[in-house]
């Protein structure tokens, strides 16, 4: 398996990615924590005062939603340029190209993990209580990783051939942000659309994060099933597409 | 009880390349935007690119422990085939099978980061080559020792000279202990001493039974390092076998190519003469004396014209590339418009750097021609060409008896080449001689 053979390279790439992400700004890691917090604050004021959602712990509800969404948005958009950005490792030497995308997604995974870690004291401060359900958090993170990595493989390989995918994906992320229950409660969705709405695995995952971190609930079996299955499907599809498209990477970069 | 180890079924070939073809598409206008791509598809003009086969139906095997050379002109597909073996490029058809751990030296120092120290870069580069930390750690002293950069271990790479950079990269790359090494001219790094070291290292690898594929323009290096070679010509394999033979085939190919291009050039020169002939016909009808003075490299009154100059070999075939020691026959056709008394035909040979080698004429060689009229032929014959390897320019002229007024003068208009034959001396001329020693 190439992951084992190249684990040293994957480690190096992840570390250098995290380094450039955090070390190059004065406040480093603080920024990656401040951004979701500031976003949460703005949304809290906008949505709490304008729309008046009757959502318990609305601030925390928002914060978990935003943090959860960031993993998806950051992971997919940085992974999209992962092949183009390291073109010399594609055209001048042979390494399994999946490594380039994988290491970027791992780096996003670690960032997201750290962001959630900082979130935990905030949960306590804002009056939430913990239970053992928090132990399911890593499980969710791994399921989420599968979904994101699968999509990342597709995006990274397609982006080599079609550069305006970048703009298209930006729009899709904007739409996705509002199609997922980040700023509003799921109860807002009309009952007749709910079935379709809940097909989105991201929706389910964000709700599951809230279940385990905020509401001390164990997510439903159907939630696990749907998210895991979509993770496997996306991963398989992504790997297949990547394998096919990676053959002509070197001449199209 | 112990078991006698059964000999594993040994794979005899390290690399098997079978019917490999690679097509490149060069878009006229790159449709990298999805929108443009869709528009192009809808228009049905999906073929907005130029296609060419960089490698076409190439098959060969490299045995374990063998050193194979790949030669050919620029653009013949050498690097493409190497990249296909390395896995960087994917063949459009055919297959490549590699048995063993491969280290491609397509370019040295891929992934080096200038902001990191030399040592950090060795770890990084090593990991790109698929090594883990302990493996690199065990070798790091050897790497710096071989690169002769022990003192600069903790210096940042951005302060390195290009030679130091290349030495570090080469040393790291060879420390990966590969079974198969692909080398693409990467050895042209560092100073002479380091190059020799690299050369020695490659010889050491050969001694250890490693498989090497070596792409090069340096024919001497190929002959020295490789038992067998293949010759690529426009993506096709035109020769395979013993390096000495393949290098020879390469030279023959080059001569054929040169011959063709010189022939073209030569025909153009003679065509220009033909144009003048038309001019002359019209001039005749108008009864006006013409001066053939338009071109800078041709002048004269035009009363006598040299209408064609051709080089022939001994067997009567037209040629432009000759070997030292071969006969060379120059045939000049002339046309004298009126009866001309005692014309003098002359020639000159210059080397392409301007050195005047010879300039005889019929008068100085006591070949006085009484008179000429109409068409005729003059031949200048060298029984054994004394010129050595090089490019030479031929001048043909016809003057009056005083050698003052030119009828027609073609200044350095015809090019021919001389290549090594039986005689391969240094310099410009082969002077027949003898050696004595006591």
Interval B21-74: pLDDT, tens: 999 887 766 556 667 667 766 666 555 677 889 999 999 999 999 999 999 888
Whether B23 and B203 have beta carbons less than 8 Å apart is answered as no
pLDDT of residue A84: 93
Q: Facing residues of B22 across strands?
A: B55
CA distance linking residue B54 with residue B80, whole number of Å: 7
Closest chain A C-alpha to B61 CA, distance in angstroms: 21
Quick one: tokens of B74?
């620029």
Considering only the beta carbons, identify the residue of B86, B124, B131 that sits closest to A94.
B86
Average pLDDT across chain A, whole number:
89
When computed from its CA atoms, the radius of gyration of chain A, rounded to whole angstroms, is: 19
Model confidence over B144-155: pLDDT tens digits?
998 889 999 999
Whether B57 and B17 have beta carbons less than 8 Å apart is answered as no
Model confidence over A27-39: pLDDT tens digits?
667 777 787 788 8
DSSP-assigned letter for residue A219: P
> How many other C-beta atoms are found inside a 10 Å radius of the C-beta of residue B394?
21
pLDDT of residue A228: 97
pLDDT of residue A57: 82
Q: Provide the pairing of β-strand B211-215 with B180-184.
A: parallel
Chain CA centroid to CA A251, Å: 30
From chain A, the residues in CB contact with B129 under 8 A are 93
CB of A84 within 8 Å of a chain B CB? The answer is no
Q: Does position B425 have pLDDT exceeding 90, yes or no?
A: no
Model confidence over B87-142: pLDDT tens digits?
999 999 999 999 988 888 888 778 888 888 899 999 988 898 888 889 999 999 99
Model confidence over B286-316: pLDDT tens digits?
444 444 445 678 888 888 989 889 999 989 8
CB of B102 within 8 Å of a chain A CB? The answer is yes
User: What is the helix (H) or strand (E) element at residue B252, kind and residue range?
Assistant: helix B243-285
pLDDT of residue B288: 41
Closest chain A C-alpha to B200 CA, distance in angstroms: 24
Query: What number is the average pLDDT over the span A217-236?
Result: 95
Model confidence over B212-250: pLDDT tens digits?
998 988 888 888 888 899 999 989 999 999 999 999 899
From chain B, the residues in CB contact with A90 under 8 A are 88
pLDDT of residue B278: 47
Q: Do A248 and B128 touch (CB under 8 A)?
A: no
Strands in B49-63's sheet, in edge-to-edge order, are B49-63, B13-27, B93-98
Query: What number is the average pLDDT over the span B74-85?
Result: 90
- Sequence-distant (6+) residues with CB within 8 A of A49 are none
DSSP assignment string, B368-435: ---EEEEEEEEEEEESS--B-SEEEEEEEEEE-TTS-SEEEEEEEEEEEEEE--S---SSSB------
CA distance linking residue B298 with residue B324, whole number of Å: 29
> How many other C-beta atoms are found inside a 10 Å radius of the C-beta of residue A48?
14
Query: To which residue do tokens 């318990």 refer?
Result: A56
CA distance linking residue A231 with residue A227, whole number of Å: 6
Quick one: tokens of B369?
């021609």
Asked if the interface predicted TM-score (ipTM) of this complex is over 0.85, the answer is no
Confidence of residue B276 (pLDDT cuts 50, 70, 90): low
pLDDT of residue B286: 43
User: Phi/psi of residue B428, each to 5°?
Assistant: -110, -35
Q: Do B128 and A11 touch (CB under 8 A)?
A: no
User: Phi/psi of residue A33, each to 5°?
Assistant: -90, -35
Query: What number is the average pLDDT over the span A156-174?
Result: 94
DSSP-assigned letter for residue A173: H
> How many other C-beta atoms are found inside a 10 Å radius of the C-beta of residue B112?
22
SS3 of residue B234 by DSSP? coil
CB of B288 within 8 Å of a chain A CB? The answer is no
pLDDT of residue B20: 94
pLDDT of residue B190: 63
CA distance linking residue B215 with residue B107, whole number of Å: 12
Query: What number is the average pLDDT over the span B333-355?
Result: 92
Q: Do A8 and B87 touch (CB under 8 A)?
A: no
Domains of chain B, earliest start first: 13-251 (3.40.50.300), 289-419 (2.70.50.60)
DSSP-assigned letter for residue B328: E
pLDDT of residue A14: 93
Range scoring the smallest mean pLDDT among A205-209, B177-181, B195-199, B390-394: B195-199
Q: Does position B274 have pLDDT exceeding 60, yes or no?
A: no
pLDDT of residue A237: 97
pLDDT of residue B275: 47
Confidence of residue B9 (pLDDT cuts 50, 70, 90): very low
Query: What number is the average pLDDT over the span A194-213?
Result: 93
User: Phi/psi of residue B296, each to 5°?
Assistant: -70, -30
pLDDT of residue A176: 95
- The four Cα atoms A94, A95, A98, A103 give a dihedral, to 10 degrees, of -140
CA distance linking residue A222 with residue A216, whole number of Å: 18
Q: Does position B277 have pLDDT exceeding 60, yes or no?
A: no
Quick one: tokens of B167?
């030495």
From chain A, the residues in CB contact with B35 under 8 A are 164
- Of A223, A212, A217, nearest to A68 by C-alpha is A212
Q: Does position A204 have pLDDT exceeding 80, yes or no?
A: yes
Q: Does position B4 have pLDDT exceeding 70, yes or no?
A: no
CB of A92 within 8 Å of a chain B CB? The answer is yes
Q: Provide the pairing of β-strand B67-72 with B211-215.
A: parallel
**Percent of chain B whose predicted confidence (pLDDT) is above 70:** 87
CB of A6 within 8 Å of a chain B CB? The answer is yes
Whether A69 and A51 have beta carbons less than 8 Å apart is answered as no
Closest chain B C-alpha to A91 CA, distance in angstroms: 6
Confidence of residue B1 (pLDDT cuts 50, 70, 90): very low
CA distance linking residue B240 with residue B238, whole number of Å: 7
pLDDT of residue B289: 44
Chain A nearest-CA residue for B32: A162
CA distance linking residue B22 with residue A123, whole number of Å: 59
- Of B429, B420, B433, B438, nearest to B247 by C-alpha is B420
Quick one: tokens of A38?
């500031």
Model confidence over A142-153: pLDDT tens digits?
999 999 999 999
Give, to the nearest 10 degrees, the angle between helix A58-80 and helix A98-125. Answer: 170
Whether B388 and B430 have beta carbons less than 8 Å apart is answered as yes
**What count of Cα atoms within 13 Å lies in the side-chain half-sphere of residue B234?**
4
Chain B nearest-CA residue for A164: B33
CB of A16 within 8 Å of a chain B CB? The answer is yes
Whether A235 and A149 have beta carbons less than 8 Å apart is answered as yes
Q: Do B110 and A16 touch (CB under 8 A)?
A: no
Q: Provide the pairing of β-strand B356-358 with B236-242.
A: unpaired
Angle at CA A120, nearest 5°, toward A119 and A123? 90
From chain B, the residues in CB contact with A250 under 8 A are 83, 88-89
Chain A nearest-CA residue for B37: A162
Closest chain A C-alpha to B257 CA, distance in angstroms: 30
The CA-atom distances, in angstroms, between B150 and each of B125, B140, B232 are 17, 10, 42
- Sequence-distant (6+) residues with CB within 8 A of A211 are A133, A217, A218, A219
From chain B, the residues in CB contact with A7 under 8 A are 132
pLDDT of residue A35: 79
pLDDT of residue B280: 52
Q: Is A217 exposed, middle or buried (0-12, 13-18, 19+ CB in 10 A)?
A: middle
Output helix, strand, coil percentages for chain A, rounded to the nearest 5: 80, 0, 20
Whether A97 and A70 have beta carbons less than 8 Å apart is answered as no
Query: To which residue do tokens 């035109």 refer?
Result: B238
From chain B, the residues in CB contact with A94 under 8 A are 86-88, 102, 104
Which positions 124-143 of A are in contact with B (Cβ < 8 Å)? none
Average pLDDT across chain B, whole number:
84
Q: Do B110 and A93 touch (CB under 8 A)?
A: yes
pLDDT of residue B272: 66
């Amino acid at each position: 398996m190439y992951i084992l053979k190249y684990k040293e390279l994957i480690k190096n790439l992840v570390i250098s990615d995290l380094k450039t992400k955090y070390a190059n700004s004065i406040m480093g890691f603080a920024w990656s924590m401040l951004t979701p917090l500031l976003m949460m604050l703005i949304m809290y004021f906008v949505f709490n005062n304008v729309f008046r959602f009757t959502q318990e712990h609305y601030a925390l509800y928002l914060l978990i939603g935003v943090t959860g969404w960031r993993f998806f948005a950051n992971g997919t958009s940085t992974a999209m340029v992962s092949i183009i950005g390291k073109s010399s490792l594609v055209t001048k030497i042979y390494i399994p190209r999946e490594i380039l995308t994988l290491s970027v997604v791992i780096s996003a995974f670690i960032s997201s993990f750290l962001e959630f870690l900082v979130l935990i004291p905030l949960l306590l401060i804002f009056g939430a209580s913990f239970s053992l359900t928090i132990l399911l958090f890593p499980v969710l993170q791994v399921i989420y990783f599968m979904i994101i990595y699968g999509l990342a493989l597709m995006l990274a390989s397609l982006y080599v051939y079609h550069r305006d995918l970048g703009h298209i994906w930006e729009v899709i992320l904007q739409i996705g942000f509002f199609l997922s229950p980040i700023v509003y409660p799921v109860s807002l969705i009309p009952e007749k659309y709910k079935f379709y709405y809940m097909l989105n695995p991201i929706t389910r995952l964000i709700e599951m994060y809230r279940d385990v971190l905020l509401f001390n609930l164990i997510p439903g079996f159907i939630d696990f099933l749907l998210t895991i299955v979509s993770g496997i499907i996306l991963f398989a599809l992504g790997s297949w597409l990547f394998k096919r498209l990676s053959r002509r990477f070197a001449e199209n970069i | 009880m112990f078991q006698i180890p059964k000999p594993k079924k040994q794979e005899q070939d390290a690399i098997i390349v079978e019917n490999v073809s690679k097509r490149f598409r060069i878009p006229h206008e790159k449709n990298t935007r999805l929108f443009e791509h869709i528009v192009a598809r809808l228009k049905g003009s999906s073929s907005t690119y130029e296609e060419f086969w960089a490698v076409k139906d190439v098959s060969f095997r490299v045995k374990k422990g063998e050193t194979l050379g790949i030669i050919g002109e620029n653009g013949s597909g050498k690097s493409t085939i190497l990249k296909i073996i390395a896995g960087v490029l994917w063949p459009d058809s055919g297959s490549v099978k590699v048995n063993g751990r491969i280290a491609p030296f397509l370019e040295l120092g891929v992934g080096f980061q200038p902001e990191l120290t030399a040592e950090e870069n060795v770890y990084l580069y090593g990991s790109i080559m698929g090594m883990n930390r302990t493996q690199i750690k065990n070798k790091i002293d050897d790497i710096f020792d071989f690169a002769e950069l022990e003192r600069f271990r903790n210096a940042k790479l951005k302060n390195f000279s290009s030679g130091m950079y290349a030495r570090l990269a080469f040393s790291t790359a060879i420390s990966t202990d590969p079974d198969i090494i692909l080398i693409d001219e990467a050895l042209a790094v560092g100073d002479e001493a380091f190059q020799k070291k690299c050369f020695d290292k490659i010889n050491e690898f050969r001694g250890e039974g490693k498989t090497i594929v070596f792409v090069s323009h340096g024919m001497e290096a190929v002959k020295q390092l490789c038992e067998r070679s293949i010759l690529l010509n426009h993506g096709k394999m035109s020769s395979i076998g013993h390096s000495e033979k393949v290098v020879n085939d390469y030279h023959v190919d080059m001569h054929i190519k040169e011959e063709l291009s010189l022939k073209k050039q030569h025909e153009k020169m003679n065509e220009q003469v033909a144009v003048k002939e038309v001019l002359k016909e019209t001039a005749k009808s108008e009864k006006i004396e013409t001066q053939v003075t338009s071109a800078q490299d041709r002048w004269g009154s035009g009363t006598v014209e040299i209408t064609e100059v051709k080089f022939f070999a001994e067997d009567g075939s037209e040629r432009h590339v000759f070997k030292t020691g071969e006969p060379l026959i120059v045939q000049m056709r002339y046309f004298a418009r009126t009866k001309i008394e005692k014309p003098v035909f002359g020639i000159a040979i210059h080397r392409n750097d301007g050195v005047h080698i010879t300039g005889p004429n019929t008068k100085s060689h006591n070949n006085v021609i009484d008179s000429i009229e109409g068409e005729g032929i003059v031949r200048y014959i060298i029984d054994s060409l004394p010129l050595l390897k090089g490019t030479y320019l031929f001048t043909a002229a016809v003057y009056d008896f005083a050698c003052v007024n030119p009828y027609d003068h073609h200044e350095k208009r015809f090019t021919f080449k001389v290549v090594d034959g039986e005689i391969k001396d240094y310099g410009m001329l082969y002077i027949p001689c003898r050696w004595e020693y006591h």
